[in-house]
Amino acid sequence: MSIRFAWGMGIVAVMGGTLLPSAQAQDRSQARSMVVSRKGIVAAESPLAAQAGVRILEQGGNAVDAAIATNAMMGVVAPMMNGIGGDLFAIVYDAKAGKLYGLNASGWAPKGLTPELLKKKGLREMPNTGVNTITVPGAVDGWQKLADRFGRKKLGDDLAAAIQTARDGYPMTEWVSMYWNISADFLRGDEEATKIYLPQDHPPRVGEIFRNPDLAWSLQQIAAHGHDAYYKGEISRRILETIKRHGGAMTAEDMADFSSEWVEPISTKYRDWTVYELPPNGQGIAALEMLNILETFPLGQDKEYGYGSTKTLHAMIEAKKLAYADLLRYIGDPHGQKLPVAELLSKEHAAERAKLIDPDHANCEAGGEPRGGKETTYLTVVDRDGNMVSLIQSNFDYFGSGIVATGTGFALQNRGALFSLDPGSPNLLAGHKRPLHTIIPAFAQKGDTRVAFGIMGWWNQSQAHAQFIANMVDFKMNIQAALEAARFTKRTFGGCDVEMENRFSKKVRDELEAKGHQIKVLGTFSASVGGGQAVLRDFAAGVNYGASDPRKDGAAIPELPLD
């Protein structure tokens, strides 16, 4: 592919091939360089987690093995964000078959958890935390299905580093310590959570060693006995006993009958790239609709529609509102109801929606507001053969429901908080139904180039995905620059509020405010706009590229060329 330079933005753009030398390369806004290797690369939010995945690659595992190892380690070192009490989604690219596979490992509500039951308990809307927000965790079943279909290593091998680290302990990092401290009062609401996560009655401080032998035990059970250890064995018994003690509705059948699903990714053509997301119950369809709307604007083709310009940002923000309005109105679990997926993905629908964008005024109409979770982890892997994994996993809120089953060492998610009790909603709570989900992995391809990417952060994700693709496709940034570039986020679905990193110029912000946008200025690299990871494979050259967002503590780490 061609090499292009965008010196006006201080960005060197590479989609494959060799970077041309230049003295100007020292003067750039891009803070990090891409990792470039003929071997595998793991990009994750923790260098320790990425290293766990790289070790598996060096021991003969493939991208799926490395993704499982990385995810397991993330659950050890950042337990507020993710872990085996949460859900998982993944997109796998099988290089030999040249085919994408999607996995939906999101859990369902207990069969007995219904709107009627909650109303009898005096609830008129879904609670945010607690036992009635716990859905069956899907992550472990997701690991098992990924390992069975694509893995080269035993599941026990993939989990070994995480087990050892949980048992022996690790020193607390700055970023994770900050999140942990935010959750201290919440954790004190559960005796077991206090015991596990507040040793010596305080969150682990930077540099303190944190050990979790109970989590090591749970992971060891899964390593030895796989899926059944979690959903039918002693772990399940401990989960159900704890939920019963808290007055929850989950039963042994809810756990034992659960199975994640292989699904066909959905896609759209954006310019000359094809972008993939997973189908509902996730929010990925909003990213694709947003891109379809943006395709009607000359981003990167007209000087007034350059990166970070007033016209570009206005179009993006307004496209976000329209796509998310459709998401909230039409999307939920597709089982048992017909969702208008094809219509929402059509170019005709996007063209009609684009006509609603007033070039001079922001649309400030109020909209419905589902709640958003606070944390997630995203990771991605490419191996030496070109197999790729885009994987995202989450507890939803910090430490999920706040409930830890006795002796297990992990928090149970509160994903059920996203259900609606509105009888007219496609996301209405029902037994063995999955809620509308925030977490989404993504993938893109053009010719011989494949990109696995994701940007975490509640309802931020679809709008962040669309911005990443526009950065890469319209503004010719390489994957590291596309992650680092300033982003906006709109937390709400209605209204004119929008948040922007301060790297967007004051002139542009003032011009947007003149159109009616109500802007909150964020820091230079704000966690509010999410953190991402990406890997790229140039199949023509046999070269891999990795990128990691400076908004997180993570890294893209290459496999050592040992053979």
The verdict on whether 376 is a catalytic residue reads yes
According to DSSP, the residues that pair with 3 across neighbouring strands are 14
**282: nearest Cα among 345, 316, 327:** 327
Helix or strand or coil: residue 45?
A: coil
Dist. CA 184–CA 170, nearest whole Å: 19
- H helices of 505-550, in order, are 506-514
**131: nearest Cα among 422, 420, 435, 405:** 405
Helix or strand or coil: residue 388?
A: strand
Helix or strand or coil: residue 312?
A: helix
Q: 458: alpha, beta or left, given left = phi > 0 and alpha = psi -120 to 50?
A: left
- H helices of 277-309, in order, are 284-294
Number of other CB atoms surrounding residue 27 within 10 Å? 9
What is the residue whose two structure tokens read 């969702």?
339
Kindly state the helix (H) or strand (E) to which residue 182 belongs, with its residue range: helix 174-182
What are phi and psi for residue 49, nearest 5 degrees? -70, -45
C-beta of residue 48 within 8 angstroms of C-beta of residue 170 = yes
**102: nearest Cα among 246, 267, 255:** 267
The pairing of strands 35-37 and 543-548 is antiparallel
Candidate list 70, 376, 377, 408, residue with the active-site label: 376
Dist. CA 262–CA 148, nearest whole Å: 12
Helix-helix angle 284-294:460-473, to 10 degrees: 40
Helix or strand or coil: residue 503?
A: coil
Dist. CA 496–CA 362, nearest whole Å: 7
**How crowded is the C-beta side of 193, counted as CA atoms within 13 Å?**
24
Dist. CA 343–CA 265, nearest whole Å: 16
**469: nearest Cα among 527, 534, 515:** 534
Number of other CB atoms surrounding residue 207 within 10 Å? 10
Which residues are designated catalytic?
376
